[in-house]
Amino acid sequence: MEIPKLKDARATIRAFCETRLADGIPYREQHQQLEPGLLEALFEAGLMGLEVASPHYSRPESALFPEPLPFQHLMLLIEESSRVDPSVSVVLHVHNVLFNRLLERFGNEEQKSLWLPLLAQKIVGAFAVTEPDAGSDLSALTLTATRSGDGFVLNGRKRWITSAREAGLFAVFAKIPQNSGADTLGCFLVQRETAGLSIADNTPKLSMRGSSTCELSFEEVFLPASALLGNERSGADIAQYALCMGRAGIAAQMLGIAQGALTLAVRYAEERPAFGERIAQFQGVSFPLAQASTEISLLRVYVYQLAKKVDAGQSILKLMDEANKAKLFASQVAERTASQAVETLGGNGVAEAYDVERFYRNAKVGKIYEGTVNILLRSIAAGLTREHLS
């Protein structure tokens, strides 16, 4: 079957998001969790297995699209859901980009046959790398996976794990001690009900309130060797792939946040009277919004060019620099646009009833998670030096 054009797919996804996601925003903001039935609706619409192909996934009649779609369309899903409620886009992003894609790329056939059908239809996946004292620096990880018989025993903690409250399966990164003394990094598939794994309560937070964020504790957690994704030395490659894909996804998320904030600001400016005019007629209001619109248009082109390269199979080494730049620029555009939207609404901009403050709060985390601004700049600067000295 022919893959729908981005324009047509956008219309379908936008209609779903505006119909299904918008009404639940007050509940998510107040209770800091997804409302009952939303996850089921995402599964029924086929949005938790957007790229998963047969034989691992037979789409139900309720699915928005009858066939698997490419990465460009997944970015479209993240952008459009972020335009309505970024906290739902986080769930879609982590599940599809940081879990399904990892399993598809690095899992063996037994792992994919077992887990992909479940991930596409009923269980949520979560990505667990961050620790209390370790994030972007993978060498600082302290959670260990020690060889024991025909498996591994995990001990340690993970922090800031998105979708931990809802997840049924975790991709957990741990150091594997070696007899040589040089630890390796492994990635393990850990089921929620595994003995010794405990999940703390949700962490209340400024941004992405509908998405759960919890700490995980591992106390003598035994895993069979079959839980290892790849081999005992695959963790670094898996993490690098996840960072690249994840940063591309967050760029799409920030793009959606910027567009959502701009739409609200323009709508308000067209309706709000002052001094006998609509405030959209004043250059002090319209020019900053025009600047934001320009940046959003440029960002959208960059994000989808990057996604197209992913679909074309370009190597992660080549894609990483562009993913870093996309996320950096996207986080800046989202924050500037959301801030301008708040100012456009004046006093109403800080009122919850007008919704732009929610976009402003959600934009802020774009400069923090999946690579802080300084981490991205450091990586981009290193690549710049290599490029010009080679």
Cα 40 from Cα 380, distance rounded (Å): 40
Query: Which residue bears the tokens 């996840």?
Result: 242
Characterise 33 by phi-psi region: left (phi > 0), alpha (psi -120 to 50), beta (else): beta
Nearest to 330 by CA among 307, 353, 356: 307
**Whether residue 18 lies in the annotated active site:** no
CB burial readout 65-94, b (16+ within 10 A) else e:
beebbbbbbbbbbbbbbbbbbbbbbbbbbb
Among candidate residues 80, 215, 295, 370, the one labeled active-site is 370
Q: Where are the alpha helices (DSSP H) in 67-147?
A: 71-84, 86-95, 101-106, 109-121
Q: What does residue 117 show for φ and ψ, rounded to 5 degrees? A: -60, -40
Cα 213 from Cα 205, distance rounded (Å): 9
Cα 328 from Cα 118, distance rounded (Å): 34
In sequence order, what are the residues at sequence separation of 6 or more whose Cβ sits closer than 8 angstroms to the Cβ of residue 357? 342, 349, 350, 351
Q: 220 and 212 in contact (C-beta within 8 Å)?
A: no
Cα 225 from Cα 20, distance rounded (Å): 41
Peptide bond into 132 cis (omega under 30): no
Q: What does residue 3 show for φ and ψ, rounded to 5 degrees? A: -70, 130
Active site residue ranges: 370
